[in-house]
């Protein structure tokens, strides 16, 4: 039972254009969502997060949108740069003292930004 | 970068042998996690720790055990390695989970090959 899904295994965009990565979840108890970026042979790096009380969070070129009714979140990268080429994972957690911060990850989307 | 190291970084072992992977942190964070990354599955939680000597199972804990005798070290043991445990293993730490924050910071990973 995949509670967090990234249905696009890969995405290819031109430098300077917008990259949109999508993620869907099924567990309505998730209340905190994160995006990680991963380069080959390295550990995932935290990128941006959003709490369920918000519908948008921005950090420079990166914006995460959350649509709770659709159980959908997306990551927008504008403008895309070749250095953004990596695997992107979305993750979710349940709040409250009993969850211990455990994250459930999607399968990942390989983003390739062409010069 | 969070102070997280993993050792060894690469290991080749034979089926049936025990293997121990070490995660060491210098951040004094209470919560630590072990994940494995496999194609098509993203990252999956194996075990986690919410304090010294306090551990619990994650999603894919069969065949694995953990120990945490001090804050900075979290050990993952494959009791009798199998080929299905060939994977990349990541350790993560978190400063303040359980309050809707839950951001985790990852180590560089250990690539394990079981022959």
Residue B73 has pLDDT above 90, yes or no: yes
Is A59 in contact with A78 (CB distance < 8 Å)? Answer: no
Interface membership of B106 toward A (CB under 8 Å): yes
In angstroms, the CA A89 to CA A23 distance is 9
Tokens of A70: 């659709």
Give the closest-approach CA distance of B113 to chain A in angstroms.
15
Q: In a mutagenesis test of the A interface, which of B10, B33, B35, B43 is the best target, namely the one with the most A β-carbons within 10 Å?
A: B43
Q: Is A109 exposed, middle or buried (0-12, 13-18, 19+ CB in 10 A)?
A: buried
pLDDT in tens, A56-92: 999 999 999 999 999 999 999 999 999 999 999 999 9
| Inter-chain residue contact B42 with A107, CB threshold 8 Å | yes
Chain A residues whose CB is inside 8 A of the B104 CB are: 46, 101, 103
| Inter-chain residue contact B43 with A97, CB threshold 8 Å | no
Examine residue A27 and say whether the peptide bond preceding it is cis (omega within 30 degrees of 0).
Answer: no
Tell me how far CA of residue B15 lies from CA of A83, B27, B69, B85, in angstroms. Answer: 39, 35, 28, 10
Phi and psi at residue A26, to the nearest 5°: -115, -25
pLDDT at residue A61, as a whole number: 98
Give the closest-approach CA distance of B100 to chain A in angstroms.
4
pLDDT in tens, A5-62: 999 999 999 999 999 999 999 999 998 999 999 999 999 999 999 989 999 999 999 9
pLDDT in tens, B8-62: 999 999 999 999 999 999 999 989 999 999 988 899 999 999 999 999 999 999 9
Q: Which residue of B has its CA nearest to A50?
A: B101
Q: Measured in whole angstroms, how far is the alpha carbon of residue A13 from the centre of its chain?
A: 17
């Amino acid at each position: 039972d995949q509670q967090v899904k990234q249905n696009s295994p890969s995405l290819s965009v031109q430098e300077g254009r917008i990259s949109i990565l999508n993620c869907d979840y099924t567990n309505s108890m998730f209340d905190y969502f994160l995006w990680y970026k991963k380069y080959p042979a390295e550990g995932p790096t935290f990128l941006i997060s959003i709490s369920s009380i918000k519908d948008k969070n921005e950090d420079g070129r990166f914006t995460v949108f959350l649509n709770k009714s659709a159980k959908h979140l997306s990551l927008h990268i504008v403008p895309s740069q070749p250095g953004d080429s990596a695997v992107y994972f979305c993750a979710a957690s349940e709040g409250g003292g009993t969850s211990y911060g455990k994250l459930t990850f999607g399968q990942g989307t390989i983003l390739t930004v062409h010069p | 970068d969070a102070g997280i190291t993993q050792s060894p970084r690469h290991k080749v072992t034979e089926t049936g042998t025990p293997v121990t992977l070490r995660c060491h942190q210098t951040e004094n964070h209470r919560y630590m996690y072990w994940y494995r990354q496999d194609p098509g599955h993203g990252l999956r939680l194996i075990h986690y720790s919410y304090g010294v000597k306090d551990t619990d199972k994650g999603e894919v804990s069969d065949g694995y055990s953990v120990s945490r005798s001090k804050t900075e070290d979290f050990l993952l043991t494959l009791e009798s390695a199998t080929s299905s445990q060939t994977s990349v293993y990541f350790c993560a730490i978190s400063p303040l989970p359980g309050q809707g924050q839950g951001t985790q910071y990852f180590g560089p990973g250990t690539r394990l090959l079981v022959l």
